Amino acid sequence: MTALERAAPESVTELSDLVAGCDAVERKILIVGGNTLNGMGFPPERADLTIETRRIAGTASYEPSDLTLAVKCGTAIQALAASLAPHGQFVPFDAPRPQYATVGGTLSSGWLGPRRHLYGRPRDYVIGTTVVLADGTIARAGGMVVKNVAGYDMSRLYVGSFGTLGILAQANLKTLVAPQHSRVFLARLPEGTRSRAFAHVASLRIQPAAAFWIDGFDLTVDGDDGDDGRVLILLEGSAALLERATRDLRSALGGAGVPETRIVDAGARESFQRTVDAYVATLGERSVTYRIFAFPERSEAIVRSISERARHFGLRCEAIVDLMNGDVIARVSDADALALGAKIEAFDDGLHEIQPGAQVIASEHPHRQYLRVWGQVPASIERMRALKLRFDPHRTLNPGRFVGGI
Amino acid sequence: MPVEGGVVISFARMNRILALDVRNRRAHVQPGVINLDVSKHAAESDLFFAPDPSSQKISTIGGNIATNAGGPHCLSYGTTVNHVLGLEIVDEHGEVFTTDLDGPGYDLTAAMVGSEGTLGIVTSAWVRLLQLPETVRVWLAAFGDVDSASAAVSAIVAAGIVPTALEMMDAVITRAVEAAFHAGYPTDAAAVLLIENAGFADDMDACEAAVEAIAKDHGAISWRTAAGAVERDALWAGRKGAAGATGRIAPNYYTQDVCVPRSKLPQALRAVDAATTAHGIVVGNVFHAGDGNLHPLLMYDKRNLKQVAAVVESGNAILQAAIDLGGTISGEHGIGFEKREAMTQVYSTADLATMARVRDVFDPTRALNPEKIFPRGTRCPEVAPPADPTARSA
Ligand SMILES: Cc1cc2nc3c(=O)[nH]c(=O)nc-3n(C[C@H](O)[C@H](O)[C@H](O)COP(=O)(O)OP(=O)(O)OC[C@H]3O[C@@H](n4cnc5c(N)ncnc54)[C@H](O)[C@@H]3O)c2cc1C
């Protein structure tokens, strides 16, 4: 859902004026970045004005020798990567569809990508922010230094707040030195090898930058499934490290009964990115994708129970398991939107009985609005509501989209 | 210390490690647990707790969380906030609530960490543990002047090398440390860099060659690799005991804590020198150079009121210099009572009022650590300028 009236301000002051104007007359604002995660969260309970952030874009300042950069929120993740790459730097945000996803949207949604076990969470790269609050206040937090404990950590609070506390106008980021080499491993898993493959990959001394077990997602994600699906593993680091990691990985997979692996060096990063893109890839209106955060040791059992549930409902279930972090991505689908619509609410109820935390991260099906898209309501919801009330008393920003209808 | 009276709550008896979950690399701890004890306990399982403030033998997890403590190794591992997975908090009414980093909703964990006890009292924490590195190497580079050492630090960072720790000590400090600990630092150098890299053996030689080349390019007068664990530990013990060792120089020291962009380190150190020389104060620098986080130790005798005043003056001059260089007034020790008036030098009224909104939600009556962080006159919702900006104590 979007409002008919749209605005795309070009500056923070213009944004602030717009927001203050709406707040004063109780008009509701829907905030849109690259629209790549519009399958997350509830639809807004009302939207009188859609504010697009894409024109507040570009690098505000970049000091490669400090490994810090200030970027405006409407900047696409890929554009951000392109300005860092010539200096051999990057930020490990791992956003799906980075050509469209914006810095503001990726941070506000609290997106968590597959390399976070190695490089940390996006929030941990944010050293300062400029936000526009519901009353139009332009507030800054943090700065351009990598350590800062002057006052509350407002920046991390805005990250993951889904635009309901304020609109992120600028983020100051810490950057990282890009790994020298990337290499992807692809392997089909023969029958009965899955559990051991999971365990062997998890116990590697040199941790892969990302490791996925995949079942389905043909054509979207590289490789072909064996009887037990397939694995796609990304190694990153120096040439010397990769050489050793390659040997270790081969013997780990061999020990799990996986006879053959294919190595992709040219195009490894793209292959990894296609897997991340698949997290939010829909099958038109005939699919719903769930995400579950779990400990790695539990993820295999979770996938199994979700597939069984799906089979029970006559739904197809495809899955991606992030073996390093434990995240389970499950895409359930049916032959057409009508068939899915007849089952999805009952499936959603059943799924939440076994996986109360399951969140919807992608779907174009109209029934999405009836699903428990955020999973179970968190224990501290009343304090979260109080925070919303103190920051946005008129419920001007993204009303109803967040957890518990915040 | 309760500035205006009140109740002091001590966590000395809530000092248990409640659970160690080796498989999922996390520990559940009470706030009174000593930082170092977590790593000692976890080491049996090849794990450690990364935040390592130099006070780690005496500081507690509760205090680390409340100040978002750093330490030498947060250069590559990040500060305490990166290592807290969830908290149990008691609010001003005595009600208990929890935060969960992986749960949906606002990141209340981040709001609590670094809030200096003003948003709630931490009664337990789930913390992340990391796997102990397979190889650790420590290097010592000595320089004939402070400027060259700080330029070398900026150059190492600019070259895209982020070692696990990159610390600097000047001659005042190394001499005090050597007198106290015989840790192995050269006493004839104007400044030394203590550099550690932890990780995989395969990458060590390349890292060593790159850092050594930069150090020598910047005029290092000596370069040494610590021979083994015993030598490494001695160097680290000296570094972490540095503040205490200054007792030989003066009866008291005041630690300033500021952070600047890393390329500004040479200017920042010159400003420290100017600010202390102007007031006739002896200064020793021992700090987290790789992060741009300075800790000038200003030596004085608290019985000498003129010296006390001089320390306050030069401390303030250092704050201002850090701000002028695009830095901040605290990198890791926090604002507390002492620096609260200086908050208006880095934040606008609107910025502070935004922080106060968070306080309004979690501690509306200002019952918790009432005199910390916010400048006087900032009871909600308005934030007024400080009533008496000159009243600041060291
Ligand atoms: C020699 C020396 C070296 C130091 N080196 C470093 C360093 O390298 N890095 C660094 O970051 N700091 C350093 N510090 C500063 C300090 O030791 C740390 O900030 C440490 O985290 C404080 O822990 P503590 O247990 O001593 O807390 P305290 O000093 O007792 O308390 C600190 C703050 O936390 C609050 N607090 C304590 N417990 C709780 C709780 N359970 N719930 C809510 N609030 C609570 C207190 O009210 C207070 O505001 C150093 C200090 C010294 C003296």
**Whose CA is closest to B36, among B236, B296, B332, B288?**
B236
CB neighbours (10 Å) of residue A356?
12
Q: Is the CB of B63 under 6 A from ligand 1?
A: yes
Assigned domain for B346 exists: no
Q: Does A4 touch chain B (CB under 8 A)?
A: no
- One domain for residues B9 and B125: yes
Q: Does B360 touch chain A (CB under 8 A)?
A: yes
- One domain for residues B273 and B237: no
| A357 to B103: CB separation less than 8 angstroms, yes or no | yes
* A155-212 residue pLDDT tens: 999 999 999 999 999 999 999 999 999 999 999 999 999 999 999 999 999 999 999 9
Spatial neighbors of A203 by CB under 8 A, at least 6 apart, are A252
- One domain for residues B8 and B94: yes
Q: What is the DSSP string of B263-305?
A: GGHHHHHHHHHHHHHTTT-EEEEEEBGGGTEE-EEEEE-TT-H
Whether A247 shows a pLDDT value over 80: the answer reads: yes
| A156 to B98: CB separation less than 8 angstroms, yes or no | no
**Level-2 CATH architecture, domain A287-370:** 2-Layer Sandwich (3.30)
Q: Give me the pLDDT at residue B160, please.
A: 85
Mean pLDDT, chain A, integer? 96
Write the ipTM: 0.96
Assigned domain for B279 exists: yes
Instruction: Give the CATH number for residue B293.
Output: 3.30.70.2740
Assigned domain for B392 exists: no
Q: Are B153 and B290 in contact (CB under 8 A)?
A: yes
Interface of B with A in 188-207 (CB under 8 A): 200, 202-203, 206
Assigned domain for B17 exists: yes
Assigned domain for B351 exists: no
Counting atoms of ligand 1 from 1, which one is nearest the CA of B80? 11
- Return left, alpha or beta for A375; rule: phi > 0 is left, psi -120 to 50 is alpha, else beta: left
- One domain for residues B120 and B15: yes
Instruction: List, in sequence order, every residue forming a beta bridge with A237; answer none if it has no partner.
Output: A181
**Level-2 CATH architecture, domain A1-178+376-406:** 2-Layer Sandwich (3.30)
Nearest to A143 among B82, B106, B328 (CB): B328
Instruction: Give the CATH number for residue B65.
Output: 3.30.465.10
Q: Give me the pLDDT at residue B389, please.
A: 36
Q: Is the CB of B340 under 6 A from ligand 1?
A: no
* Structure token pair of residue B313: 């003056």
* A196-233 residue pLDDT tens: 999 999 999 999 999 999 999 998 999 999 999 999 99
| Residues A240-252, mean pLDDT to the nearest whole number | 96
From the CA of A318, how far away is ligand 1's center (Å)?
Answer: 48
- One domain for residues B229 and B308: no
Q: Give me the pLDDT at residue A315, please.
A: 98
3-state secondary structure of A235: strand
| B361 to A88: CB separation less than 8 angstroms, yes or no | no
- One domain for residues B230 and B279: no
3-state secondary structure of A282: coil
Q: Are B144 and B219 in contact (CB under 8 A)?
A: yes
Domain residue ranges in chain A: 1-178+376-406, 181-278, 287-370
* A295-333 residue pLDDT tens: 999 999 999 999 999 999 999 999 999 999 999 999 999
Range of the domain at B226: 135-244
| B206 to A67: CB separation less than 8 angstroms, yes or no | no
Q: Give me the pLDDT at residue A313, please.
A: 97
- One domain for residues B7 and B127: yes
Confidence band (pLDDT; 50, 70, 90) for B381? Answer: very low
Which residue, by CA, sits nearest to atom 6 of ligand 1?
Answer: B53
- One domain for residues B26 and B102: yes
Q: Give me the pLDDT at residue A75, please.
A: 98
Q: Does A237 touch chain B (CB under 8 A)?
A: yes
Instruction: Give the CATH number for residue B218.
Output: 3.30.70.2190
Q: Does B301 touch chain A (CB under 8 A)?
A: no
Which runs of consecutive H residues, i.e. helices, occur in A138-290?
154-158, 194-202, 239-255, 268-278
- One domain for residues B208 and B120: no
Whether B392 shows a pLDDT value over 80: the answer reads: no
CATH 3.30.310.180, domain A181-278, yes or no: yes
Which residue, by CA, sits nearest to atom 7 of ligand 1?
Answer: B53
Whether B339 shows a pLDDT value over 70: the answer reads: yes
The structure's pTM equals 0.95
pLDDT > 70: what percent of chain B? 95
Interface of A with B in 179-218 (CB under 8 A): 205-206
Chain A residue with Cα closest to B201: A241
Assigned domain for B302 exists: yes
Final residue before a domain boundary, out of B244, B274, B304: B244
- One domain for residues B139 and B240: yes
Counting atoms of ligand 1 from 1, which one is nearest the CA of B336? 49
Final residue before a domain boundary, out of B296, B324, B352: B324
Nearest to B354 among A139, A159, A238 (CB): A139
Q: Give me the pLDDT at residue A2, please.
A: 64
| Residues B312-331, mean pLDDT to the nearest whole number | 97
Q: Give me the pLDDT at residue B163, please.
A: 94
Contact list in A for residue B119 (CB cut-off 8 A) is 152
Nearest to B98 among A89, A160, A380 (CB): A380
From the CA of A146, how far away is ligand 1's center (Å)?
Answer: 19
Final residue before a domain boundary, out of B131, B157, B179: B131
| B111 to A65: CB separation less than 8 angstroms, yes or no | no
Task: Report the number of distinct structural domains present in chain B.
Answer: 3
Assigned domain for B385 exists: no
- One domain for residues B78 and B101: yes
| B354 to A154: CB separation less than 8 angstroms, yes or no | yes
Question: Residues of B130-147 as b/e, b for ≥16 C-beta within 10 angstroms?
Answer: beeeeeebbbbbbbeebb
- One domain for residues B119 and B143: no
Which residue, by CA, sits nearest to atom 22 of ligand 1?
Answer: B63
Q: Does B373 touch chain A (CB under 8 A)?
A: yes
Q: How many CB pairs below 8 A link A and B? A: 200
